[in-house]
Amino acid sequence: MGFATKAIHAGNKPDPTTGAVSVPIYQTSTYAQDGLGRHKGFEYARTQNPTRSALEENIAALENARFGFAFASGMSAIDATLKLVKAGEHVILGHNTYGGTFRLFDRVLSDYGVEFDLADTSDIASLETHFKPNTKMVFVETPTNPIMTLTDLAAVSELAHSRGAKVVCDNTFMSPYFQRPLDLGVDIVLHSTTKYLNGHSDSVGGFVALNDEKDAEWIGFIQNAVGAILSPFDSFLVLRGTKTLAVRMDAHDRNGRMVANFLAEHPRVEKVYYPGLASHPQHELAKRQQSGFGGMVSFDTGSLENARKVLESVKLCTLGESLGGVESLISHPATMTHASVPAEARQQLGITDGLVRVSVGIEDADDILADLDQALS
Ligand SMILES: *Cc1c(COP(=O)(O)O)cnc(C)c1O
């Protein structure tokens, strides 16, 4: 079955009671049982909910995964996954992951005895030097935010597996439409469904997809034991969102390419970061590993003053954090998403004060280009 067909049909069976074509929002906390020890497979809604199960089947199918689990946020999905790592074990973390992921390691997990090192996962030779005898996991994000650096997922998986470590990939930026890490050898895929999967900027959620039965059993156990489940209503929203994932991602990609090309030619722009540009240092890897380039584009305006002028002059693009919604969003990484990263580390990552990030939406491309043009001039 093709991707768009799966997006619409996987998990979306007509409701057995009424025939409702849309999976209903089962807004219930508990279920009537037929007798002692006799029930319909549903006991309590933290443990099982039909709306959530439908979404779990749907996104698992899109990632070509055997198992899927929906969580209350991307961060709770990441936290549940890291409960596969025990005190005294070591994780190699990409040096430019989502800020919340770094914070979870730095401020929470380290207090529970989980060791971690930061590494540039785009450089396999340097990554290799970070392995220790107790390394259990390599955690990567590709492309990274906001500099759009790629990690070769097949190469990292091969290296990590030869060292007895698992690979986890946060696939939020690409969505399963453009990149399917499990097919490349990755063990566990994570999502903030808040972004492209839901796609309409009206729900916060997270997802874990994987093939290994034993790890899946543990993630399912944690989901129930800790309880950071996605609500029935949010499950319904994300299930509605994924039905149009294919058409939305194609539109984000089309507009993303146009915005990147426009900015690359613009005299007021010093540098553009977009894997779809032939000038991107990993353009070849992007073409091999992804089936599209998506809608995330960053560009350097040269100074904080220039960035401020652009960010405060846009009319169509909305100034705000987050990404992946139908509407174009514009942000300033140095003072917004990456404000907690020390200035020196920001500089090393290329996150200058003049850097601006756009989550290109699916409005008419001409309107987005006109807005950026007037803001730049
Ligand atoms: C937003 C985001 C997260 C965190 O997800 P929440 O849904 O906000 O908890 C994790 N990783 C990436 C890449 C993100 O963009």
Token pair of 310 as six digits: 């652009």
- CA of 30 relative to ligand 1 center, distance in Å: 30
Does residue 257 have a pLDDT over 90?
A: yes
**pLDDT value for 276:** 98
CA 273 to CA 299: how far, in whole Å?
Answer: 6
CATH number at residue 42: 3.40.640.10
CA 262 to CA 171: how far, in whole Å?
Answer: 27
**Do 250 and 235 belong together in one domain?**
no
Where do we find the tokens 């089936």? 291
**Do 154 and 223 belong together in one domain?**
yes
**Do 273 and 355 belong together in one domain?**
yes
- Pick the closest to residue 301 from 235, 352, 237, 371 (CA basis): 352
**Do 38 and 175 belong together in one domain?**
yes
Which domain does 197 fall in, by range? 3-243
- CA of 119 relative to ligand 1 center, distance in Å: 20
CA 98 to CA 93: how far, in whole Å?
Answer: 11
**Do 226 and 253 belong together in one domain?**
no
What pTM was computed for the model?
A: 0.97
Does residue 376 have a pLDDT over 90?
A: yes
Q: What are phi and psi of 93, to 5 degrees?
A: -110, 130
**Which H helix or E strand runs over 138?**
strand 135-141
Strand partners, 35: 38
CATH number at residue 307: 3.90.1150.10
Task: Give residues (CB < 6 A) around ligand 1.
Answer: 73-75, 98, 100, 141, 170, 172, 192, 194-195, 204, 206
Strands 318-319 and 296-300: unpaired
Ligand 1 pocket mutation, candidates 71, 78, 96, 192, criterion most atoms within 8 A of CB: 192
Where do we find the tokens 């034991």? 225
Does residue 248 have a pLDDT over 90?
A: yes
Strands 188-192 and 296-300: unpaired
The number of folded domains in the chain is 2
Q: Which tens digit of pLDDT belongs to each residue from 205-222?
A: 999 999 999 999 999 999
- How many other CB atoms are found less than 10 A from the CB of residue 15? 14
